[in-house]
Amino acid sequence: MKMKRLYGAVVLLVLIGVTTTVRAADCRVNGGQWVHVGAGGTLNLQVPVTVRLDSDSTRVVLDGARLECRFTPGQPFPSFVDFWRTSALAGAPWTPGPKFASQGTGLRINGAYLNTPVPYEIHLASMPNNGVGVPINATPYILIRNNPTNPIDVRIGDVLGVLRLRQTNNYASTSTVLVLTYTAANNFSISPSTCTINNNNPIEINFGNVHQRAIGTDPLTSTIVSNRRLTYSCPDGGINTPITITYKGISTGFDSRLLRMTNPDVGTALVRAGSAVQVNGSFLTRITNSVGGDDVTFSLVRRNGSLPTPGAISGSGVLVMGVP
């Protein structure tokens, strides 16, 4: 009888251990399907994010991913709770993608800005055993620099970075790792520098009313021109460096030096130091003690042999500061 009682007690204890096993980790992004990962496993998610750029004086925030996790619904033991945090056991909390590897980056966690390397053991959220999704508020950002730097052009499919978190709990020694790879779902450009051209004011070029025949066919000899001064400045003093100014836009179909206008027989050239800058090309200049400048000419040019249709014409381009 004693042997049987002992055996029964052992069986009973094993059954108690089995009944406390729960499926405790589900996550989803941007309201999508909930994805479950078993205890002690790793949940790998790759999520295309439509990035909304938000910025202040010190950083550009890559917003657009809404991450939620929950305690899997229908589980017993209402006192059980999951905890999500950064952890050395999960790896670096944030690893920027290749296009951001040379930039200062970080994570905004529950409103606090934490620069890379993001510290370990930062608590993000607690999930009570009620099956309700809880936001995981971790948003990557790029630090803005006070010296010239090249803009970053991000294309659809580019990896923005990898977020790594660890889930622990108050009921077992097991844990779950979440690895979330952010990819770009839209094209966008970032200029992570506070240095400016003309104090970031738009440059409006108004050629006025001109006769079609008065428009020249060469950007260096056309008489329909507008002379402008470009000024460059950085907020921190003492910056001395060569810089590039890129004439970004779409070129005409008849001359790659000309910015496309609404009239297909007309384009606009940017001329500096007696040479027309290619559209999406650049010229080399310099900032000395945090300031610089250049005199340039915008010239209106028509396709050789054409007589442009009369009427209003317009176009747009962007001047971008970078470094060689």
**Domain CATH number, residue 253:** 2.60.40.1090
Asked whether residue 48 is domain-assigned, the answer is: yes
Report the number of distinct structural domains present in the chain.
2
Residues 41 and 159 grouped into a single domain: yes
Single residue among 141, 169, 190 that ends a domain in this structure: 190
CA–CA separation, 291 and 145 (whole Å): 16
- Domain co-membership, 173 together with 38: yes
- Please write the tens of the pLDDT for every residue from 115-146: 999 999 999 999 999 999 999 999 999 998 88
How is residue 98 written in tokens? Answer: 């290749």
Contacts of 39 (CB under 8 A, 6+ apart): 21, 22, 23, 24, 25, 172, 174, 175, 176
- For residues 168 and 203, state if they share a domain: no
Q: Are residues 260 and 146 in the same domain?
A: no
The closest of 226, 215, 56 to 143, measured between CA atoms, is 56
Structural domain includes residue 3: no
The per-residue pLDDT for 57 is 73
Domain boundary among 172, 190, 208: 190
240 & 271 share domain: yes
Residues 227 and 266 in one domain: yes
224 and 122 share a domain? no
Answer whether 167's CB lies under 8 Å from 134's CB: no
**Same domain? 294 vs 182:** no
CA–CA separation, 110 and 217 (whole Å): 59
User: Can you give the pLDDT of all 324 residues of the chain as single tens digits?
Assistant: 333 333 334 443 343 333 444 556 789 989 999 998 777 788 898 888 888 877 777 888 888 889 999 988 888 889 999 999 999 999 999 999 999 998 999 999 999 999 999 999 999 999 999 999 999 999 999 998 889 999 899 999 999 999 999 999 998 888 889 999 999 999 988 888 989 999 999 999 999 999 989 999 999 999 999 999 999 999 989 999 999 999 999 999 999 999 999 999 999 999 999 999 999 999 999 999 999 999 999 999 999 999 999 989 999 999 999 999
| Residue 128: partners with Cβ closer than 8 Å, 6 or more residues away | 71, 78, 80, 81
Tell me the β-bridge partners of 183.
48, 159
Give the structural domain span for 127: 24-190
Residue 1 covered by a domain: no
Q: pTM above 0.85?
A: no
Total number of residues shown for the chain = 324
- Alpha-carbon span 125 to 284, nearest angstrom: 50
In angstroms, how far is CA 280 from the centroid of its own chain?
Answer: 22
- pLDDT for position 24: 61
Same domain, 223 and 175: no
Same domain, 205 and 151: no
Hey, what amino acid is at 56? D
Q: Which of 190, 218, 244 is the last residue of a domain?
A: 190
Do 170 and 214 lie in a common domain? no
CA distance 310 to 287: 42
